[in-house]
Chains A and B, each alone.
Chain A
């Protein structure tokens, strides 16, 4: 079964990178995901995928927020 999803990326995104992401998701979910790729500069780097009601956040901005929370000790 093919899934539909949205993929947000910060900068230019090549075919090669896209297929790598697709391969990862195919392994994780056991199904091919057809991504609709969009640009979102707020991510700074990395990507954010929305598939099947779930968000897979591998963006630099969320990593930075996480580090900030870790350093300031506010959970």
Chain B
């Protein structure tokens, strides 16, 4: 395309027709000292807490300490590019992130800069820190959020708008539960945000690939503050992710957010606070670590119909050291959330995966967030497992076992086997109901424990092929009336016949 100078001029003139020059007045300050990502600034007398401060060379920081005559600022990027004496500018805005549908399928950093090399044209921005929904605007949690994991959905049901902690040692499958939950939201109209805090870039790349393969990226946003990002970036990452998810909630959608993980977040905040010379408390964490996490998790919830009826479910992850759930950060987050899924390394290594410890895991929302069909088949599950665990300890001493005890032990073995599940293979609600129905009604009593998993997998395949209608009715209706239960029974019996033959 060839344009003459005159034509270019005309185009520019037209484009500039709506332009209005505004006088530029802003506050300035001078850098007194800089180091470790923390900068002391003289001036900026009217800056707000959390305000975005602009340095030279496109370096940005966030005002964290407001003092007489100066401000303590943490840098979000360009830690090495700040010099003393440099003039800085208060932007008058608190830190914001782009939000909205445009972010789906994208990987962004905590200030909303895309990390996947493609441009991002978001129309809306939202403040990173914002108050949680008011009491009046909230409603009870009453709709399930299916994780697709039998062990979780049956015993520790999670509802939309709930905050359920996933806690356990390293390498016990915490992230896997969260990722499986995201994968299972496919076609369930739930938008997901995964916040990675202080993780390896390679881990995030792997996660992106897993979600991409499962077709889950189209309804997921990844917010990543990697291990090499500065403490301030890791600190704002969950708040930024929450702002993105919150926007979905206020738009009337159901959203799910995973914080992986909050122990690293607390460590980043500790580093930042110590550099800002805030006094250290227990385990050198600053006094407000509780508030740090409570104000974040309080932003989850279920809104009333008049408010759009959206919900935000939060799945924070906390890593424990040597299975110590009474350490500082774990107890804090346990008390904030509406229950926890506790994963145990012993179970994990014994091959029980997901390694959920049923005794220590709870969901304080519970049955209210379960479909009727699930509630019916899972009613006695917890009790059966508790009895089994108790007797299992005694049974280790061997010798004679009376028939009643033997039955409880055998049932428990089969139930434990049934609750095992491969990663990234979520089950539909109706399929979970089928498996539980079979095991709870003694259809597996003639199957040796070692063959239970094979039997279950076979049953699932058979049912998907032959009893699709029954499964669909359970899935859509959410209930298990007698005629559908009859259908399931017929299906199981037919399968058993086919196996025998």
A contact set with B: CB distance below 8 Å: 50, 53-58, 62-63, 66-67, 70-71
Q: B16 and A70: CB pair below 8 A?
A: yes
CB distance from A52 to the nearest CB of B (A): 9
What are 20 pairs between A and B in contact, CB < 8 Å? A53-B29, A53-B43, A53-B44, A53-B46, A54-B26, A54-B27, A55-B24, A55-B27, A55-B28, A56-B23, A57-B24, A57-B25, A58-B24, A62-B24, A63-B21, A66-B24, A67-B16, A70-B16, A70-B19, A71-B15
CA distance A50 to B43 in the complex (A): 12
Interface centre among A53, A62, A66, A67 (most CB of B within 10 A): A53
CB distance from B180 to the nearest CB of A (A): 39
Binary CB contact string for chain B from 4 to 46 against chain A (1 if under 8 A, 0 otherwise): 0000000010011001011111111100000000000001111
Choose among B12, B19, B21, B26 the residue that contacts A55 (Cβ–Cβ < 8 A): B26
CA distance A71 to B27 in the complex (A): 26
Chain A residue contacts of B44, Cβ below 8 A: 53
Interface residue range, chain B: 10 to 19
Q: Told that A56-B23, A57-B25, A70-B19 touch, could you supply 18 new A-B pairs with CB distance under 8 A? A: A53-B29, A53-B43, A54-B25, A54-B26, A54-B28, A55-B24, A55-B25, A55-B26, A55-B27, A55-B28, A55-B89, A57-B23, A57-B24, A57-B26, A62-B24, A66-B24, A71-B15, A71-B16
CA distance A50 to B16 in the complex (A): 29
Residue of A with least CB distance to B26: A55
CA distance A57 to B25 in the complex (A): 6
Q: B28 and A50: CB pair below 8 A?
A: yes
Chain A residue contacts of B26, Cβ below 8 A: 54-55, 57
Interface centre among B25, B27, B44 (most CB of A within 10 A): B25
CB distance from B123 to the nearest CB of A (A): 12
Chain B residue contacts of A67, Cβ below 8 A: 16, 19
CB distance from A48 to the nearest CB of B (A): 9
Top-8 shortest CB links A-B:
A57-B24, A55-B28, A70-B19, A53-B43, A53-B45, A56-B25, A55-B26, A54-B27
CA distance A9 to B27 in the complex (A): 19
Binary CB contact string for chain B from 110 to 130 against chain A (1 if under 8 A, 0 otherwise): 000000000000000000000
CB distance from B116 to the nearest CB of A (A): 19
CA distance A50 to B27 in the complex (A): 9
Q: B25 and A71: CB pair below 8 A?
A: no
Q: B21 and A66: CB pair below 8 A?
A: yes
CB distance from B42 to the nearest CB of A (A): 10
CA distance A67 to B43 in the complex (A): 29
CA distance A63 to B22 in the complex (A): 9
CA distance A55 to B45 in the complex (A): 13
Chain B residue contacts of A53, Cβ below 8 A: 27-29, 43-46
Q: A58 and B28: CB pair below 8 A?
A: no
CB distance from B68 to the nearest CB of A (A): 13
CA distance A2 to B57 in the complex (A): 34
CA distance A12 to B219 in the complex (A): 60
Chain A residue contacts of B12, Cβ below 8 A: 71
Chain B residue contacts of A55, Cβ below 8 A: 24-28, 89
CB distance from B439 to the nearest CB of A (A): 59
CB distance from A10 to the nearest CB of B (A): 16
